[in-house]
Amino acid sequence: KSGFVAIIGRPNVGKSTLLNRIVRQKIAIMSDKAQTTRNKIQGVYTTEDTQLVFIDTPGIHKPQSRLGDFMVESAYSAIREVDAVIFMISADQKRGKGDNLIMERLQNCDVPVFLVINKIDKVHPDQLLPMIEDYQTCMKFTEVVPISATEGNNVENLLTTLEGYM
Protein backbone atom coordinates (compact mmCIF):
# COMPACT_ATOMS: atom_id res chain seq x y z
CA LYS A 1 0.00 0.00 0.00
CA SER A 2 1.18 3.50 -0.73
CA GLY A 3 -0.22 6.95 -1.16
CA PHE A 4 0.30 10.69 -1.10
CA VAL A 5 -1.09 12.71 1.77
CA ALA A 6 -1.36 16.51 1.69
CA ILE A 7 -1.32 18.39 4.99
CA ILE A 8 -3.09 21.71 4.88
CA GLY A 9 -4.12 24.24 7.47
CA ARG A 10 -3.57 27.77 8.68
CA PRO A 11 -0.06 28.82 9.75
CA ASN A 12 1.06 27.66 13.21
CA VAL A 13 -1.48 24.87 13.67
CA GLY A 14 1.43 22.40 13.85
CA LYS A 15 1.84 20.93 10.36
CA SER A 16 5.66 20.95 10.47
CA THR A 17 5.70 19.60 14.02
CA LEU A 18 3.59 16.61 12.99
CA LEU A 19 5.79 15.93 9.97
CA ASN A 20 8.93 16.12 12.09
CA ARG A 21 7.49 13.69 14.59
CA ILE A 22 6.44 11.19 11.93
CA VAL A 23 9.86 11.37 10.34
CA ARG A 24 11.68 11.04 13.67
CA GLN A 25 9.71 8.01 14.84
CA LYS A 26 9.97 5.92 11.70
CA ILE A 27 12.53 5.10 9.06
CA ALA A 28 12.05 7.97 6.71
CA ILE A 29 13.62 9.96 3.95
CA MET A 30 13.73 13.73 3.96
CA SER A 31 13.84 14.56 0.31
CA ASP A 32 14.93 17.90 -1.06
CA LYS A 33 15.58 16.60 -4.55
CA ALA A 34 12.04 15.42 -5.07
CA GLN A 35 10.65 18.91 -4.59
CA THR A 36 8.74 20.61 -7.34
CA THR A 37 7.14 24.04 -7.26
CA ARG A 38 3.81 22.33 -6.82
CA ASN A 39 4.39 19.49 -4.44
CA LYS A 40 6.92 19.72 -1.70
CA ILE A 41 7.66 16.31 -0.29
CA GLN A 42 8.24 16.71 3.42
CA GLY A 43 8.63 13.17 4.60
CA VAL A 44 8.06 9.54 3.80
CA TYR A 45 6.65 7.18 6.42
CA THR A 46 7.48 3.56 5.75
CA THR A 47 6.37 0.35 7.40
CA GLU A 48 6.64 -3.23 6.14
CA ASP A 49 3.60 -2.93 3.89
CA THR A 50 2.84 0.77 3.65
CA GLN A 51 4.43 3.92 2.39
CA LEU A 52 2.85 7.29 3.05
CA VAL A 53 4.34 10.30 1.30
CA PHE A 54 3.48 13.56 3.05
CA ILE A 55 3.44 16.76 1.06
CA ASP A 56 3.22 20.39 1.98
CA THR A 57 0.90 22.70 0.10
CA PRO A 58 2.42 26.17 0.47
CA GLY A 59 0.15 29.16 0.14
CA ILE A 60 -3.11 27.31 0.47
CA HIS A 61 -4.25 29.36 3.45
CA LYS A 62 -3.65 32.69 1.76
CA PRO A 63 -6.68 34.87 1.09
CA GLN A 64 -7.68 35.17 -2.53
CA SER A 65 -6.11 38.05 -4.39
CA ARG A 66 -5.12 38.64 -7.98
CA LEU A 67 -1.45 38.16 -7.15
CA GLY A 68 -2.07 35.23 -4.80
CA ASP A 69 -4.34 33.36 -7.20
CA PHE A 70 -1.53 31.53 -8.94
CA MET A 71 -0.07 30.16 -5.72
CA VAL A 72 -3.43 29.26 -4.29
CA GLU A 73 -4.45 27.51 -7.50
CA SER A 74 -1.15 25.60 -7.57
CA ALA A 75 -1.78 24.42 -4.05
CA TYR A 76 -5.28 23.24 -4.88
CA SER A 77 -3.99 21.46 -7.98
CA ALA A 78 -1.62 19.62 -5.67
CA ILE A 79 -4.61 18.52 -3.64
CA ARG A 80 -6.21 17.01 -6.71
CA GLU A 81 -3.15 14.80 -7.10
CA VAL A 82 -3.10 13.21 -3.65
CA ASP A 83 -4.86 10.16 -2.18
CA ALA A 84 -5.88 11.80 1.08
CA VAL A 85 -5.97 15.23 2.68
CA ILE A 86 -5.29 16.12 6.29
CA PHE A 87 -6.99 19.37 7.21
CA MET A 88 -5.26 20.43 10.41
CA ILE A 89 -6.71 22.82 12.95
CA SER A 90 -5.55 23.85 16.40
CA ALA A 91 -7.68 22.92 19.43
CA ASP A 92 -6.96 26.27 21.08
CA GLN A 93 -8.10 28.43 18.16
CA LYS A 94 -11.57 29.36 16.98
CA ARG A 95 -12.63 28.58 13.42
CA GLY A 96 -11.62 31.53 11.25
CA LYS A 97 -11.80 32.89 7.73
CA GLY A 98 -8.73 30.88 6.70
CA ASP A 99 -10.36 27.64 7.84
CA ASN A 100 -13.59 28.46 6.02
CA LEU A 101 -11.72 29.22 2.79
CA ILE A 102 -9.91 25.89 2.94
CA MET A 103 -13.12 23.96 3.64
CA GLU A 104 -14.97 25.69 0.78
CA ARG A 105 -12.33 24.33 -1.55
CA LEU A 106 -12.30 20.88 0.04
CA GLN A 107 -16.05 20.42 -0.36
CA ASN A 108 -15.74 18.92 -3.83
CA CYS A 109 -12.63 16.94 -3.09
CA ASP A 110 -13.11 13.30 -4.08
CA VAL A 111 -10.43 11.82 -1.82
CA PRO A 112 -10.82 11.22 1.94
CA VAL A 113 -10.49 14.38 4.03
CA PHE A 114 -9.38 13.92 7.63
CA LEU A 115 -10.02 16.61 10.22
CA VAL A 116 -6.97 16.51 12.49
CA ILE A 117 -7.34 18.56 15.66
CA ASN A 118 -3.87 19.27 16.96
CA LYS A 119 -2.67 20.69 20.31
CA ILE A 120 -5.19 18.76 22.39
CA ASP A 121 -2.70 19.06 25.25
CA LYS A 122 -3.65 22.75 25.47
CA VAL A 123 -7.38 22.33 26.07
CA HIS A 124 -9.82 20.50 28.35
CA PRO A 125 -11.19 17.35 26.64
CA ASP A 126 -14.76 18.72 27.02
CA GLN A 127 -13.92 21.44 24.52
CA LEU A 128 -13.27 19.00 21.69
CA LEU A 129 -16.78 17.77 20.94
CA PRO A 130 -18.35 21.23 20.45
CA MET A 131 -15.42 22.11 18.22
CA ILE A 132 -15.83 18.97 16.11
CA GLU A 133 -19.56 19.64 15.79
CA ASP A 134 -18.89 23.20 14.68
CA TYR A 135 -16.53 22.06 11.90
CA GLN A 136 -18.92 19.33 10.84
CA THR A 137 -21.56 21.97 10.09
CA CYS A 138 -19.17 23.21 7.36
CA MET A 139 -18.38 19.93 5.67
CA LYS A 140 -18.37 16.16 6.01
CA PHE A 141 -15.08 14.57 7.09
CA THR A 142 -14.00 10.99 6.47
CA GLU A 143 -12.65 10.78 10.02
CA VAL A 144 -11.89 13.18 12.87
CA VAL A 145 -8.61 12.55 14.70
CA PRO A 146 -7.52 14.60 17.74
CA ILE A 147 -3.75 14.61 18.32
CA SER A 148 -0.91 16.36 20.06
CA ALA A 149 2.01 16.61 17.67
CA THR A 150 4.41 17.77 20.39
CA GLU A 151 3.38 15.14 22.98
CA GLY A 152 2.81 12.44 20.37
CA ASN A 153 -0.70 11.64 21.58
CA ASN A 154 -2.70 9.64 19.05
CA VAL A 155 -0.18 10.15 16.22
CA GLU A 156 0.23 6.38 15.76
CA ASN A 157 -3.55 6.09 15.50
CA LEU A 158 -3.60 8.81 12.84
CA LEU A 159 -1.04 6.89 10.77
CA THR A 160 -2.96 3.62 11.15
CA THR A 161 -6.17 5.38 10.12
CA LEU A 162 -4.51 6.84 7.02
CA GLU A 163 -3.08 3.44 6.09
CA GLY A 164 -6.58 2.01 6.21
CA TYR A 165 -7.67 4.34 3.39
CA MET A 166 -4.71 3.66 1.07
Q: Is 60 annotated as a binding residue?
A: yes
Q: Minimum CB separation from ligand GDP for residue 50, in Å? A: 24
Size of the site for Mg ion (CB under 5 A): 2
Does position 150 interact with Mg ion (CB under 5 A)? The reply is no
Which of Mg ion, ligand GDP, none binds 118 (CB below 5-8 Å, type-dependent)? ligand GDP
Taking the alpha carbons of 114, 103, 40, 75 in that order, is the dihedral positive or negative?
positive
**Which residue from 109, 108, 112, 46 is spatially nearest to 84, judged by alpha carbons?**
112
| Identity of the residue, 15 or 119, whose beta carbon is nearer to Mg ion in the bound complex | 15
Stretch that binds Mg ion, among 10-18, 60-68, 105-113, 134-142 (CB under 5 A): 10-18
Q: Minimum CB separation from ligand GDP for residue 142, in Å? A: 21
Contact map string, positions 72 to 101, toward ligand GDP, x by CB under 6 A: ------------------------------
* Contact residue for ligand GDP among 57, 148, 155, 162 (CB under 6 A): 148
Instruction: Please enumerate, by residue number, every residue annotated as part of a binding site for GTP.
Output: 9-16, 56-60, 118-121
